[in-house]
Structure 1
Amino acid sequence: MTTSRDLLIVTMDGEPSRLVERGDLSLGLAGAELIDLLGAQEAGLHGERVVPGLAGMPDDPLLRQAASSLVREEPYESVGDWLWRRGRGLSAAYLSALEADGQLVRQRNRRWKVFWTRELVLVDTEARRHAANRYRSDEPVLAALTEAIGVREPGGEPPKVSDDAVERVLAALEDALAELAAERQRRDRRRGEAAVDNVRRGY
Structure 2
Amino acid sequence: MTTPQDLLFVVLDVRADRPVERGDLSLALAGAELLDLAGAGVVSLREDRIVPTSGHLTGDRLLDEAAAALVREEPYESVEDWLWRRGNGLAAAYTAALEPGGSGLRQLFRRAEPADSAERRRAAERWAVREPALTGLAAELGIGEPGAKSAEEDAEDDRLALVLAAVGDALTELEAVRQRRRIEEDAFDNVWRAP
Bin the TM-score by the shorter chain.
0.7 to 0.9
What is the alpha-carbon distance in structure 2 between the residues aligned to residue 97 and residue 30 of structure 1? 15
Gaps of 5+ in 1: 110-117
Aligned match of 1:115: none
What is the alpha-carbon distance in structure 2 between the residues aligned to residue 105 and residue 133 of structure 1? 27
Shift of 1:56: 1.4
Judging changes above 3 Å, is the alpha-carbon distance between structure 1 residues 183 and 105 closer, same or farther for their aligned structure 2 residues? closer
After superposing the two structures, state which structure 1 stretch, 142-151 or 160-169, moved more: 160-169
| Aligned with 1:160 (options 130, 149, 157) | 149
Judging changes above 3 Å, is the alpha-carbon distance between structure 1 residues 25 and 190 closer, same or farther for their aligned structure 2 residues? same
* Alignment check: 8 A CA contact 2:17 2:143 kept: no
Query: Which protein is bigger by CA-based radius of gyration?
Result: 1
What is the alpha-carbon distance in structure 2 between the residues aligned to residue 54 and residue 10 of structure 1? 30
* Alignment check: 8 A CA contact 1:40 1:55 kept: no
Structure 1 runs of 4+ with >6 Å offset: none
TM-score relative to the length of structure 1? 0.84
RMSD, aligned CA: 2.3
Aligned match of 1:188: 182
Greater RCO, CA 8 A, separation 6+: 2
Gaps of 5+ in 2: none
Shift of 1:151: 2.1
Q: Larger strand proportion, structure 1 or 2?
A: 1
| Aligned with 1:145 (options 129, 134, 137) | 137
What is the alpha-carbon distance in structure 1 between the residues aligned to residue 103 and residue 176 of structure 2? 34
Aligned match of 2:12: 12
Q: Residue type of the partner of 2:30?
A: A
TM-score relative to the length of structure 2? 0.87
Judging changes above 3 Å, is the alpha-carbon distance between structure 1 residues 68 and 189 closer, same or farther for their aligned structure 2 residues? same
* Alignment check: 8 A CA contact 1:45 1:51 kept: yes
Equivalent residues, number: 186
Q: Larger helix proportion, structure 1 or 2?
A: 2
Shift of 1:15: 2.6
> Structure 2 matches for 1:1-203, cutoff 5 A?
1-15=1-15, 18-54=18-54, 56-100=56-100, 120-152=112-144, 154=145, 159-160=148-149, 162=154, 163-201=157-195
SS at match of 1:44: strand
What is the alpha-carbon distance in structure 2 between the residues aligned to residue 20 and residue 7 of structure 1? 12
Identity of aligned residues (%): 49
Shift of 1:55: 5.4
